[in-house]
A and B are shown apart, each in its own frame.
Chain A
Amino acid sequence: MTPIVWTYISYLIISVALTIWVARTLFKNGRIFLVDSFLGNEPLADSINHLLVVGFYLINFGYVTMALKSADKPVDLQGVLETLSGKIGWVLLILGGMHFFNLFIFSKMRKRALLQNALPPVPPQVFVQGVTP
């Protein structure tokens, strides 16, 4: 096997492992946010969580596979490491971006839920009796 094939194989293994790790972290820790956002509706929160993670996997694996081909062909170990590091670096950056984007979505959902349950921001001046609705 040529050095470039070794680069590709290592790249795929590392990228897939990283993606799975980030997705699992998101899945595990995002759930509590979502349950809170959906006012304790756990089945709905779990369903949204699952859908988000599927989207996360699709985008990341899509990027990883598309970015596989390398323009420079390494001939020795140094070249392999350099090429690999550049590619993994991109994968990490994309994963980081996606991760923060997901957090942004979670916090937006949570904020909306909090807003819906917010108490009136100002106190009433007086209470009147005998209101007929």
Chain B
Amino acid sequence: MRRVEAVKISKAVTELVRKASLFLRKDVLSALSRAYAAEKNKQAKTILKAILDNAAYARQEKLAICQDTGLPVVFIQIGQDVAVRGDLKSAINKGIEEGYRKHYLRNSIVGDSLQRGRSGFLPCIIHTDIVKGNKIKLTILPKGFGCENKSQLKMFKPTANIEEVKEFIVKAVKDAGPDACPPYVIGVGIGGTADYAGIMAKKALLRKISSRNSKLEKDLLKRINKTGIGPMGLGGANTALAVHIQTHPTHIAGLPVSVNISCHALRSASVTL
């Protein structure tokens, strides 16, 4: 069985924090550039330009793309033929803390959700998948809360029709309106259980933005962009850059649908060890 030292995982996580927080994803940058080129609304175009300038300036000055450096969500895929030497969970958290400290990111996490109190960098949230092989894939998604606050879950009846589901997803975006930094990327999880639909919706944000989309995704994107919310909610043709849907089998009695919205600063980074 292959062995990986926990310290190696810490170092990899620290590097992923830097990469995700200071350098906007290439696919997101490309999508924003396309939106900028296509946008006809003058004010929306100016805002999209500022968003692109912001990414360039962050990269140049080694500044966080956004002051909300997020709640760090870590996805780990562990091959069943690899063993970690040391404490995996501590190693991931240590890597997060080191990265946040080193790059002057924000300590946005309060230890006690009800009592609040002083904020720190930890803990991160870790989602684990066990997969075939002997590799470990680490992904970090620092999720800002301006957009996380706009998440929605609906447990539909199993007899619900697709139109109701579509309506719910579009309504979730309308409810977010200008607040969560459009243009958005919309993650949707359909099926599974309430919690699993939520994780799928978040994982959907990790998918590369491309032209390869399902008919349902394309249709939803069109409808969302027709709302005219636009960049900063001040109008325009670009309310969302993409809609990504993940599905999973579910129970005969239900149909969970979860929407997880990302702001235009959709940050994530991955590495395989």
Is B a genuine binding partner of A? no
Interface residues of A (CB under 8 A from B): none
Interface residues of B (CB under 8 A from A): none
